Amino acid sequence: MVEYTSTEMMAVCGAHAVKDGERVFAGTGLPVLGAMLAKVTHAPNAIIIYEGGNVDTQNKDLALSVADSRLGYRAAASIGLIETLGFLMMGGKVDVGFLGAAQIDEFGNINTSYIGDFDAPKVRLPGSGGGNDIASSAGRIILMFTHDARKFVKKLDYLTSPGHLSGPGSREKLGLIGGGPSLVVTDKCQMDFDPDSKRIRLKSVHPGVTVDWVKENVMFDLSIGKDVPITAEPTKHELEKLRGLDPQGIYLAKGQK
């Protein structure tokens, strides 16, 4: 049996969600590990774009920032934000965007701005950054964050980036061209969205996690099917490749075994 951490599991789930030849917009951290892993395993023709301006990158070393010089190494082009978030993203030329979240609601709407009251917030989070842009226009969105009940809320403290808003048709009405969230990856489970109701639902639980645990750790009614499968474990080949991408354990060191 292979040994792996919860963080490695997340990265591998992220990688599986990328198809060969897709254009992928990845933030730093786990998303880029997932996208890079896809590229060295089943999706060699995936094209990775970073919002700072590096396009179609082949970086050798892992980056701390979406603007990291490491991402300029062997990039096809080094341009700017109007290029990446404007011409490419708003132009409808990106298939998949990876995002994190501090809170999401049952329609996959995202808060990365404020915890508490807007006028006297308990915590000011990083803000939208390119998140709202990516959530608005990427073909589909993959959300990745560690599982915590307080993140799955009935009502967001602040809606930074649009998920499926109030349900079917609401994105289209506002002219948003992206497809919205399609997958949520945590260290405990994967969730997707019902194509009809656009509501989040449990897709699979990671080995060792129960459906009940997930149910208890989501603050809204989670749609759960009869037979929830267990997430496939990372293969030995995937783990080797993944660890090769982060030999110093910058991101991978964080997970639990």
Q: Which residues are designated catalytic? A: 51
**To the nearest whole angstrom, how small is the minimum distance from the Cβ of residue 195 to other proteins?**
20
Q: Which two tokens stand for residue 211?
A: 């459906």
Q: Which of 26, 33, 36, 205 binds other proteins (CB under 8 A)?
A: 36
Q: Which stretch binds other proteins (CB under 8 A): 70-78, 146-154, 192-200, 226-234?
A: 70-78
Q: Which of 4, 152, 158, 193 binds other proteins (CB under 8 A)?
A: 158
Q: Which of 42, 146, 159, 167 binds other proteins (CB under 8 A)?
A: 159
Contact flag: residue 167 with other proteins (CB under 8 A): no
Give the residue with the Cβ less far from other proteins, 7 or 28. Answer: 28
**To the nearest whole angstrom, how small is the minimum distance from the Cβ of residue 141 to other proteins?**
13
Q: Which stretch binds other proteins (CB under 8 A): 6-14, 81-89, 218-226, 228-236?
A: 81-89
Give the residue with the Cβ less far from other proteins, 96 or 222. Answer: 96
| Number of residues assigned to the chain | 257
What does the alpha-carbon distance between residue 82 and residue 84 come to, in Å, rounded to a whole number? 6
What does the alpha-carbon distance between residue 161 and residue 133 come to, in Å, rounded to a whole number? 8
Q: Which two tokens stand for residue 134?
A: 């990516």
Give the residue with the Cβ less far from other proteins, 118 or 221. Answer: 118
C-alpha to C-alpha distances, 25 to 99, 163, 175, 221, nearest whole angstrom: 9, 17, 21, 31
Strand pairing category for 103-104 and 47-49: unpaired
Number of residues that bind other proteins (CB under 8 A): 82
What does the alpha-carbon distance between residue 75 and residue 64 come to, in Å, rounded to a whole number? 17
What does the alpha-carbon distance between residue 19 and residue 157 come to, in Å, rounded to a whole number? 34
**To the nearest whole angstrom, how small is the minimum distance from the Cβ of residue 210 to other proteins?**
32
Task: Tell which positions 180-239 bind other proteins, by CB under 8 A.
Answer: none
With vertex at residue 202, the alpha carbon angle to CA 241 and CA 177, rounded to the nearest 5 degrees, is 80
What does the alpha-carbon distance between residue 22 and residue 39 come to, in Å, rounded to a whole number? 10
**To the nearest whole angstrom, how small is the minimum distance from the Cβ of residue 103 to other proteins?**
12
**To the nearest whole angstrom, how small is the minimum distance from the Cβ of residue 73 to other proteins?**
5
Task: Tell which positions 95-154 bind other proteins, by CB under 8 A.
Answer: 113, 118-121, 123-133, 136-137
| Terminal-to-terminal C-alpha distance of the chain | 13
Give the residue with the Cβ less far from other proteins, 126 or 225. Answer: 126
Residue in the block written with tokens 């789930």 = 13
